[in-house]
Amino acid sequence: MPPLTAIEPSFNLEIYIDRATLPTIQQIAMIVANKSPHKKLIYWSRHPLTDRELLKCINGESCCSIDNIHHRVTELLSSYDNCHVTIYGNTYWSKDIARLIRRISKLPGINIKKLELIDDGSSEYQKMYTWESLGLSAQIKSLTQGQNNLQNYISGSSNRIVRFLTGKSNKLPRSIESIFNWHQLFPTTYHMLRMDYLEKPELKQLKKHLMGNTKQINGTTYQTTRLHRNKSYCLIN
């Protein structure tokens, strides 16, 4: 009888998801700065990372879809009891993260340790500009409804018909109440290009809502990233 394969107690996994450019470049900067030895699953749909030597250096693996990430997480879990996951994503397109969490959270042993969400660019601020016209009571109501909707979306089935029959949300709009409620469910940091925008009197409620969960994207790092954008593209093309 062959010996049983030992199951390790736990491991740390980093997942990187983006469909734009700025968050991808910021994620590259984070990978370089953190120098983490943890396994990395990377899905950058606009700029796929395909350099095998580079992937090997960062203990990374390129994925081609949310389904692909789910499949790989399932495979990796076969050798461990628990998996502690940190997800790096795009704030405006955080529905991609919701789709992933809805799937992997149903796997035994998964622990969503932290979310690191990065501004898409101007999209978040365009949404804030529209949202700030709401009255205070309407803003509070929208944030509460957004949290409930996000929770329902994540806890629902991947099958739309099942979600409809069970009353779980079928939709997750790219709105303030959806993209800025993640910290209510998981430890989250929102990396913002313009944290000072929250100082507008009309956004007082949103600033209070996000208190302690925002971080300004370093201006020097951003400028350096822009100056070395062509070099970065060499890494992701």
What string of H, E and C letters represents the secondary structure of 177-237? Answer: HHHCCHHHCCCEEEEECCHHHHHCHHHHHHHHHHCCCEEECCHHHHHHHHHCHHHHHHHHC
Helix (H) or strand (E) holding 61: strand 60-62
**What's the pLDDT at 228?**
41
Domain presence at residue 142? no
Domain presence at residue 160? no
Domain presence at residue 99? yes
Estimate to the nearest angstrom the gap between the alpha carbon of 183 and the chain centroid.
11
Domain presence at residue 178? no
**What's the pLDDT at 214?**
97
**What's the pLDDT at 163?**
62
Domain presence at residue 166? no
Q: Pick from 142, 171, 145, 143: which is nearest to 156 by CA?
A: 171
Q: Is the dihedral of CA 39, 45, 51, 54 positive or negative?
A: negative
Domain presence at residue 172? no
Given a contact cutoff of 8 angstroms between Cβ atoms, the answer to whether 61 and 39 are in contact is: yes
Domain presence at residue 85? yes
Tokens linked to 85: 């996951």
Domain presence at residue 168? no
What is the extent of the structural domain holding 93? 9-120+185-236
178 Cβ partners below 8 Å, 6+ apart?
94, 95, 146, 149, 150, 172
Tens place of pLDDT per residue across the chain (237 aa): 555 455 678 899 999 999 999 999 999 999 999 999 999 999 999 999 999 999 999 999 999 999 999 999 999 998 898 999 999 999 999 999 999 999 999 999 999 999 999 999 999 999 999 999 999 999 999 999 999 999 999 988 666 666 666 666 668 889 999 999 999 999 999 999 999 999 999 999 999 999 999 999 986 554 444 444 444 444 544
CATH of the domain at 93: 3.40.50.11120
**Whole-prediction pTM:** 0.87
Counted domains in the chain: 1
Given a contact cutoff of 8 angstroms between Cβ atoms, the answer to whether 177 and 143 are in contact is: yes
